[in-house]
Amino acid sequence: MKEQKNPKKPIYYYYIAALMIVMLLNAFVFPLLVKQNVTQVDYGTFLTQIESGKVKVVEIEENQIGFITADEEGKEKIYITGRMDDPELVNRLHKANIQFSKVIPRQNSPLMNFILTWIFPIVIFYGIGQILANSMQKRMGGNAMTFGKSNAKVYVEAQTGKTFADVAGQDEAKEALTEIVDFLHNPNKYKEIGAIMPKGALLVGPPGTGKTLLAKAVAGEAKVPFFSISGSEFVEMFVGMGAARVRDLFKQAQQKAPCIVFIDEIDTIGKKRDNGGIGGNDEREQTLNQLLTEMDGFNGEKGVVILAATNRPESLDKALLRPGRFDRRVPVELPDLSGREAILKVHGKNVKLDQDIDLNAIARASSGASGAELANIINEGALRAVKCDRKYVTQSDLEEAVEVVVAGYQRKGAVVSPKEKQIIAYHEIGHAIVAAKQTESAPVHKITIIPRTSGALGYTMQISEGENVLMTKEEAFNKIATYTGGRAAEELIFGTYTSGASNDIEQATKIARMMVTRLGMSKNFDMMALETVSNQYLGGDASLICSPDTASKIDEEVLSIIKKAHEKAINILKDNLDKLHELSRYLIERETITGDEFMEILSR
């Protein structure tokens, strides 16, 4: 059966037909409409009308004369006659007191009239329609009139501007991705031995650790086109639109192979499938199914590598993680001490730093910080240097920047009464003395009673000399004792409690519960797992996996640990009561003291 041809004509046929009709109207119809109100007479009639006094207005042109007459009822009529060689005409008109003015109708271009009357309004309405369409397109993800088109950002070759030299503190992740770069440079080397490069690599880690930066660095090192798109851009209100965008994205990638496709926050479309949608076939699930199909369909030998990033790997569908799709899982964890120092050096290249600056001390003070937070510390230090009218960043600027990131800005205008200031000072010195008098505890670095925007009225900062990977039971217990030191000092000196220990209570309870339920540091429960943690990269939501009776026993065990730590803190402060008074008075006077000053007074 032959395919029928489309009977519809191309649109330009209609434009040509409309133009021919307008030209015919302009040539034959419009001139008649203009002339129907004007009467043509001979020159003799014109002279007769002058003699009879009926001519009121005359216009003389080179080849014709136009004049207006008025009858007895006052009705005016326009006439046109040919011009004759009559030297006395002007004198005759003056004697008859006839006015000279424009009489002959000026024939505007009918085509122009038609354009102004018809075409121009259509153009205006068309322009308004285009503006509305563009506005709708922006509101609906940039594809309101181009459904199914992928709006991925394309960086051609090395235009990402990033290489592995711009990524610090992630040596293991860079090593895992170096193979992908080498494959894109030398694919024949892998083909000869029969090795197949992974189609996809999943970058997993907490927010701010540099997953997106790593993907851009891979493209920059390989010098291939780089497609970047967020998972949320696939999901739209129109069913099937996300799947169409996935198809279009992979089609573009195949055309520009070798290349790298990076999908950020892939958990948006890659969540585990369930029966939550209508018939299990909602828009999100269609998008995921299409992604799975496309990853199976393309040939990895062409050099199309899929990189994806997420901080919720436990929520991804298992079909997405099987071999043949995202074959390789690359952890991008929080940097260690050396990694933090390397990151600070990378971000410090573009900032004027003092020659005597110690980035290792800043790295030790920022334990647990991500790459993004470390970049923010450098920037905050630079802003403080500018605020203080300095030409370079000093050590004090970066130390204050660490405190800004951890505790917020200083509330210099906060009004604290002398009595409350005294309570806060004893509270903080209580923390510091308990920490200093325990063997397995981090040294005190700084004590302050200046309120911060985070809500802290004061704080005691401890910084470890090195990086601890493991935590012993004694270290965990000593941390709890340190947290209870502030409340213990209030009890000893003032014989009452305040709300200043609220955060200490939360932290102490968290560590004690973790010792019992997750770390196996309880004799009663031994190595029994009593709690699971989900979303480990997003704060870690814990949930008990035990019976109500066991949960009650857990609470008793946690309370017992906290009570023992609290008693230990009270005993330490009783043994150092004189130093507690002396250091508290010194802190009230100075408001901020360093760890060296604290240890000097405590040890003498």
Hey, which residues are catalytic here?
428
Q: Is the dihedral of CA 401, 405, 406, 408 positive or negative?
A: positive
Q: Is the dihedral of CA 395, 399, 400, 405 positive or negative?
A: positive
Structure tokens at 307: 């990189």
Structure tokens at 469: 């990977």
- Closest by Cα among 428, 432, 438 to 459: 428
DSSP state of 51: H
Residue written as token pair 């007479």: 41
- Closest by Cα among 321, 242, 324, 249 to 281: 242
The per-residue DSSP string of 272-303 comes to: PP-S-SGGG--HHHHHHHHHHHHHHHS-GGG-
- Closest by Cα among 371, 456, 366, 358 to 407: 456
Structure tokens at 204: 């997993």
Beta strands in 159-267 (DSSP E): 200-204, 226-230, 259-264
Question: Distance (Å, rounded) from C-alpha 172 to C-alpha 332?
Answer: 8
Question: Distance (Å, rounded) from C-alpha 517 to C-alpha 533?
Answer: 11
Q: Residues 6 or more apart from 53 whose CB is under 8 A from it?
A: 96
Omega cis (within 30) before 187: no
The per-residue DSSP string of 537-597 comes to: GGT-EEEE-S-HHHHHHHHHHHHHHHHHHHHHHHHHHHHTHHHHHHHHHHHHHHSEEEHHH
Radius of gyration for the chain, computed over Cα atoms and rounded to the nearest angstrom: 43
Q: Classify residue 224 as exposed, middle or buried by CB count within 10 Å of its CB (0-12, 13-18, 19+).
A: buried
Q: Classify residue 290 as exposed, middle or buried by CB count within 10 Å of its CB (0-12, 13-18, 19+).
A: buried
Task: Give me the half-sphere count of Cα atoms (radius 13 Å) on the Cβ side of residue 213.
Answer: 19
Beta strands in 313-467 (DSSP E): 326-331, 444-448, 459-462
